[in-house]
Structure 1
Amino acid sequence: MAKTQLNVRVDEGTARAARERALARGMSVNRYIEELVRQDTGEVGRTFVEAAADFMKSYEAVFAEESAGAGTPPRATTGEDRR
Protein backbone atom coordinates (compact mmCIF):
# COMPACT_ATOMS: atom_id res chain seq x y z
CA MET A 1 0.00 0.00 0.00
CA ALA A 2 1.35 3.43 -0.91
CA LYS A 3 2.05 5.76 1.98
CA THR A 4 1.01 9.39 2.16
CA GLN A 5 2.56 11.88 4.50
CA LEU A 6 0.13 13.65 6.79
CA ASN A 7 1.30 16.53 8.98
CA VAL A 8 -0.72 17.36 12.07
CA ARG A 9 -0.28 19.83 14.89
CA VAL A 10 -1.05 18.79 18.45
CA ASP A 11 -0.26 20.30 21.82
CA GLU A 12 2.87 19.11 23.62
CA GLY A 13 0.91 17.01 26.11
CA THR A 14 -0.80 15.07 23.31
CA ALA A 15 2.52 14.58 21.50
CA ARG A 16 4.15 13.35 24.72
CA ALA A 17 1.28 10.95 25.39
CA ALA A 18 1.48 9.57 21.84
CA ARG A 19 5.23 9.00 22.17
CA GLU A 20 4.84 7.32 25.57
CA ARG A 21 2.00 5.07 24.45
CA ALA A 22 3.82 4.07 21.27
CA LEU A 23 6.99 3.31 23.23
CA ALA A 24 5.04 1.23 25.75
CA ARG A 25 3.60 -0.80 22.88
CA GLY A 26 6.98 -1.17 21.18
CA MET A 27 5.94 0.63 18.02
CA SER A 28 6.61 3.88 16.25
CA VAL A 29 4.40 6.91 16.81
CA ASN A 30 3.45 6.64 13.15
CA ARG A 31 2.21 3.06 13.57
CA TYR A 32 0.47 3.96 16.83
CA ILE A 33 -1.48 6.77 15.12
CA GLU A 34 -2.30 4.51 12.17
CA GLU A 35 -3.69 1.91 14.59
CA LEU A 36 -5.83 4.50 16.35
CA VAL A 37 -7.31 5.65 13.04
CA ARG A 38 -7.96 2.06 11.96
CA GLN A 39 -9.77 1.39 15.22
CA ASP A 40 -11.86 4.50 14.76
CA THR A 41 -12.77 3.56 11.18
CA GLY A 42 -13.83 0.02 12.01
CA GLU A 43 -10.74 -2.08 11.39
CA VAL A 44 -10.91 -3.32 14.96
CA GLY A 45 -10.56 -7.02 14.13
CA ARG A 46 -7.08 -6.68 12.69
CA THR A 47 -6.04 -4.31 15.43
CA PHE A 48 -7.31 -6.72 18.07
CA VAL A 49 -5.32 -9.61 16.62
CA GLU A 50 -2.16 -7.49 16.48
CA ALA A 51 -2.68 -6.32 20.06
CA ALA A 52 -3.29 -9.89 21.21
CA ALA A 53 -0.10 -11.02 19.48
CA ASP A 54 1.82 -8.18 21.15
CA PHE A 55 0.34 -9.17 24.51
CA MET A 56 1.25 -12.83 24.05
CA LYS A 57 4.79 -11.89 23.06
CA SER A 58 5.14 -9.61 26.09
CA TYR A 59 4.02 -12.32 28.52
CA GLU A 60 5.55 -15.32 26.74
CA ALA A 61 7.94 -16.09 29.62
CA VAL A 62 5.13 -15.95 32.17
CA PHE A 63 2.97 -18.31 30.11
CA ALA A 64 5.91 -20.70 29.65
CA GLU A 65 6.62 -20.71 33.39
CA GLU A 66 2.97 -21.38 34.21
CA SER A 67 2.82 -24.20 31.65
CA ALA A 68 5.95 -25.83 33.05
CA GLY A 69 4.45 -25.85 36.54
CA ALA A 70 1.27 -27.48 35.29
CA GLY A 71 2.72 -31.00 35.16
CA THR A 72 -0.10 -32.62 37.11
CA PRO A 73 -3.52 -32.56 35.53
CA PRO A 74 -6.45 -31.39 37.67
CA ARG A 75 -8.21 -34.14 39.63
CA ALA A 76 -11.67 -35.08 38.41
CA THR A 77 -14.39 -34.45 40.97
CA THR A 78 -17.41 -36.58 41.72
CA GLY A 79 -20.54 -36.01 43.70
CA GLU A 80 -18.85 -37.63 46.72
CA ASP A 81 -16.15 -34.93 46.72
CA ARG A 82 -18.75 -32.26 47.41
CA ARG A 83 -19.70 -33.54 50.87
Structure 2
Amino acid sequence: MTPDPDVLARNRWFLIVLARMVPVAGALFGIVLLGRAITLPDRILGVAIVLSALVVMAVLPRHLAHRWRTPPAE
Protein backbone atom coordinates (compact mmCIF):
# COMPACT_ATOMS: atom_id res chain seq x y z
CA MET A 1 0.00 0.00 0.00
CA THR A 2 1.45 3.35 -1.03
CA PRO A 3 1.38 6.22 1.46
CA ASP A 4 -0.98 9.11 0.95
CA PRO A 5 0.89 11.98 -0.80
CA ASP A 6 -0.56 14.55 1.62
CA VAL A 7 0.66 12.59 4.64
CA LEU A 8 4.05 12.12 3.04
CA ALA A 9 4.34 15.85 2.29
CA ARG A 10 3.28 16.76 5.84
CA ASN A 11 5.83 14.37 7.36
CA ARG A 12 8.59 15.73 5.15
CA TRP A 13 7.65 19.29 6.08
CA PHE A 14 7.85 18.39 9.78
CA LEU A 15 11.28 16.85 9.23
CA ILE A 16 12.53 19.98 7.46
CA VAL A 17 11.22 22.15 10.33
CA LEU A 18 12.91 19.81 12.81
CA ALA A 19 16.12 20.04 10.78
CA ARG A 20 15.93 23.81 11.27
CA MET A 21 15.15 23.74 15.00
CA VAL A 22 17.66 21.15 16.24
CA PRO A 23 20.74 23.08 15.03
CA VAL A 24 19.36 26.20 16.72
CA ALA A 25 19.31 24.30 19.99
CA GLY A 26 22.86 23.13 19.31
CA ALA A 27 24.00 26.67 18.60
CA LEU A 28 22.39 27.89 21.83
CA PHE A 29 24.15 25.10 23.72
CA GLY A 30 27.44 26.20 22.17
CA ILE A 31 26.81 29.81 23.12
CA VAL A 32 26.03 28.82 26.72
CA LEU A 33 29.16 26.67 26.80
CA LEU A 34 31.18 29.53 25.36
CA GLY A 35 29.80 31.97 27.93
CA ARG A 36 30.56 29.71 30.88
CA ALA A 37 33.95 28.52 29.63
CA ILE A 38 36.96 29.24 31.78
CA THR A 39 39.69 27.40 29.93
CA LEU A 40 40.75 27.79 26.31
CA PRO A 41 39.80 24.24 25.23
CA ASP A 42 36.25 24.81 26.50
CA ARG A 43 36.02 28.04 24.52
CA ILE A 44 37.32 26.33 21.39
CA LEU A 45 34.72 23.58 21.85
CA GLY A 46 31.95 26.18 22.23
CA VAL A 47 33.03 27.99 19.05
CA ALA A 48 33.25 24.70 17.16
CA ILE A 49 29.75 23.68 18.26
CA VAL A 50 28.30 27.06 17.25
CA LEU A 51 30.00 27.05 13.85
CA SER A 52 29.02 23.47 13.07
CA ALA A 53 25.41 24.18 14.10
CA LEU A 54 25.34 27.20 11.79
CA VAL A 55 26.65 25.10 8.89
CA VAL A 56 24.05 22.40 9.55
CA MET A 57 21.36 25.08 9.80
CA ALA A 58 22.33 26.42 6.39
CA VAL A 59 22.86 23.13 4.55
CA LEU A 60 20.55 20.40 5.87
CA PRO A 61 17.06 21.91 5.25
CA ARG A 62 18.03 22.94 1.73
CA HIS A 63 19.47 19.48 1.03
CA LEU A 64 16.29 17.77 2.27
CA ALA A 65 14.07 20.08 0.23
CA HIS A 66 16.15 19.44 -2.87
CA ARG A 67 16.13 15.68 -2.27
CA TRP A 68 12.36 15.54 -1.80
CA ARG A 69 11.44 18.04 -4.52
CA THR A 70 8.57 16.98 -6.76
CA PRO A 71 9.92 15.96 -10.16
CA PRO A 72 8.90 18.26 -13.01
CA ALA A 73 5.88 17.18 -14.98
CA GLU A 74 6.72 16.09 -18.50
| TM-score, with length taken from structure 2 | 0.29
Q: 1 or 2, which has the higher helix percentage?
A: 2
Which structure has the higher relative contact order (CA within 8 Å, separation 6+)? 2
**In terms of Rg, which structure is larger?**
1
| TM-score, with length taken from structure 1 | 0.26
